[in-house]
Amino acid sequence: YKSIGVDTPLGLVGGRSLFETSAELRFKATDTIGIVAFADGGTVGADVTPDFSEMRFGAGLGLRYLTGLGPIRLDAAVPLNRRPGDSSFAVYAGIGQAF
């Protein structure tokens, strides 16, 4: 959701610590179509040591069109610990593996 960071009067900015984690289950539906289920989590903190109490989590499903150069991705995700003002879902598109 790209909405984590150190909150300042000017808005969210980067921090001095970062912790992130991801897991993805990949299934091949056909020779060129893949389906994925994924979960992500992360936190950014003002201190050198991450503040794990501020962890944000999301999960979703995606489709992959598998090409010779790598997959073309289309993912939909929802926040698992949504805050007031957060979107209820997000859609992402990309080229190549997420990680």
pLDDT at 31: 96
pLDDT value of residue 13: 77
| DSSP letters spanning 58-80 | EEEEEEEEEETTEEEEEEEEEES
Kindly state whether residue 1 falls inside one of the protein's structural domains: no
16 within domain boundaries:
yes
H/E stretch holding 45: strand 33-45
pLDDT for residue 3: 66
In this prediction, residue 35 carries a pLDDT of: 98
78 occurs within a structural domain: yes
What pLDDT tens digit does each residue of the chain (99 aa) get? Answer: 456 777 788 777 778 898 999 999 999 999 999 999 999 999 988 889 888 998 999 999 999 999 999 999 999 999 999 988 889 999 999 998 876
Q: Give me the number of domains the chain comprises.
A: 1
Please report the sign of the dihedral spanned by the C-alpha atoms of residue 20, residue 11, residue 79, residue 98.
negative
Residue 50 lies in a domain: yes
What is the domain extent for residue 87? 6-95
